[in-house]
Each structure stands twice: as C-alpha cells, then as structure tokens.
Amino acid sequence: MTSLPKFKTAIDQETYVNIFEDKLQAYWALMTRVKNRFYGNDSLTKEYKWEELDSKVLEIIRDITTDLMYKTEVDFKEALPEYKTADDELFIPYRSFKENVLEALNEALTPYELQYKNECPPCDDLACADHLGD
C-alpha cells in the first residue's frame, strides 16, 4: 500500500500535492472520456451526468479507464522504446482488483473444497456429522 512520505519541508509537500493534482486532473479527464463514450454525448443514448450513474456503472467506467491506461502505456512504450524502464521487462498483465481477489480466494478454497468433494472416509455412521440425516 502506498503511503504519504514524511515531508522534510512545506515545499516538498506542496510539490507532492501539485503532482497528485496533475494526475487527478488527467485521470478525471480520462474517466470523463470513457463515461461520455458510453453514457454521454458520444453514446447513442441520452447523456448521463455523473450523479445519475449508480456505483456499478462507476466501477465499470473506472475499470475500463484503468485497463485502457495500462494498455496505452504498454503500446506507447512499444512504439517509443526510449520510454521503457527496467520495470517494463517484468510484464505482468493488468487484471482488475476483483479478478485478483477472486483468483486468490479460489486458490485458498481449493484445498477445503477438495477435502469435501471426495467420498466420506470410512467412519462410524452414527457418530459422523455428515450422516446424521441418513
């Protein structure tokens, strides 16, 4: 998780906030472009305002924007290799947070599920909780 640095001076803090503000403006502009393409004046339907969109739609807009940003960065660095860094050699395909969590949960649940997918091992039917309804 990213945290705020312990700023040494007020100027350093202002520099950080200014960089953050620039990135926020850029992200907001990209989110707005995606929204407008699907739910705005570029779409075939009526133009929706941000406050008219529910949380699921906002999540979809965010996911599309983030995915496009990632793919754009990859394509940009392929077209202009001078922008590549050492980190770019470690290619990790972008996936949504949900996809990563779902995969982790599936991996964590697999041993548990496998334990109960097999036939019940030999047991005393009267004492086994799995057979109380038998």
Percent of the chain that is helix, strand, coil (3-state, to 5): 65, 0, 35
39-78: pLDDT as tens digits = 887 667 778 899 999 999 999 999 999 999 989 988 998 8
Q: Where are the alpha helices (DSSP H) in 1-134?
A: 10-39, 55-79, 97-117
What's the rounded Cα separation, in Å, for the pair 15 and 98? 33
What integer pLDDT is reported at residue 38 of this predicted model?
Answer: 87
Q: Give the angle 100-31-88 at the CA atoms, nearest 5°.
A: 50
100-125: pLDDT as tens digits = 667 777 776 665 555 555 555 566 55
pTM of the entire predicted model: 0.60
